[in-house]
Amino acid sequence: MTQNRPQVRKIAVGAREDGQRIDNFLIRQLPGVPKSHIYRLLRSGQVRVDGGRAKPERKLVKGEEVRIPPVRAAERGEAVRPPDAVLNKLREAIVHEDEHYLAISKPAGLAAHAGSGVKFGVIESARAWGRHEFLELCHRLDRDTSGVLLLAKSRPALLRAQRAFKHGEADKRYFALLVGRWKGEDRDVDAALVRNAIAGGERRVRVDEDDGKPSKSRFSPRARYQDATLCEVQIFSGRTHQIRVHAAALGYPVAGDDKYGEREDNRPLRDKGLKRMFLHSHLLTLPASGEFPKLLLSAPMPDELREVLDNLGAPQAASSRRRRG
């Protein structure tokens, strides 16, 4: 019996894809294919745009033709339809929708997108609803972080959001419970970050002023407890694990963060009911731009985090000691 073999595909770039990076275009065209393999196809020149090689950051133009080579099933991985329970949970988590955007209060434990052993995330689940012709992530949240996640319903809306994030025009604020009693008031952290991989392929981020990318966060204490502090954190850049690494660099790691904190430090908080990392994106604002009005999004703190704060008891009075550092 002759088996169907994957064939070369040639796809014309339409208005929807105009201005899209080729790597993101391929991720959409090859669902289930690991990103590492997609970048390998680009580096080897197997993907062609109007007959020429293309770098991952190359932006497509309407009318161009993209050649996509055959991709074997073994390279694809198994495409998985998100369970109905997940689809329904995300529908209930919608905090805003208009003609341009869809915003979801992402639950902790659900990735923003598939990849690296994760079969589906928020974007795959939202697309599985089948009611949007175009849907793309405007930004990312760590899998264990909850809160506002913004999706664009058109390419102009996506580019508007990406510009705001890139140029520091978006206001992004989180609630983070930090291990330890905070000394002083607001504190800015301006420390460059670099990503690297350690044994087993685990991704970690570290402060590196020589090779890192500029990263700035502002920590503002909102409630002090005996052994922990609730801070509102405003980030002026969007680096991977930024809040977690900056908090650890200050000596106050995010509660429940076993990667950048110490497990033993989290034990008293686990006894208070903490079962996840205490990091929640509660506010996102985009300024008005052209046809797009100002966008103000918020997501309430999940019950499982509020219960931890309740179990910590009444907040204590701020210390009169001078600001550290």
Catalytic site positions: 142
Contacts of 69 (CB under 8 A, 6+ apart): 8, 41, 46, 47
Q: What are phi and psi of 32, to 5 degrees?
A: 90, -15
Asked if residue 224 lies in contact with residue 181, where contact means CB atoms within 8 angstroms, the answer is yes
Asked if residue 112 lies in contact with residue 122, where contact means CB atoms within 8 angstroms, the answer is yes
Residue whose pair of structure tokens reads 């900056």 in the numeric block: 246
Nearest-angstrom CA–CA distance, 24 and 42: 12
Q: What are phi and psi of 242, to 5 degrees?
A: -55, -55
Nearest-angstrom CA–CA distance, 155 and 16: 6
Give 295's strand partners.
Answer: 286
Strands 136-137 and 146-152, how do they pair? antiparallel
Amino acid identity of residue 93, one-letter, is A
Element spanning 147, H or E = strand 146-152
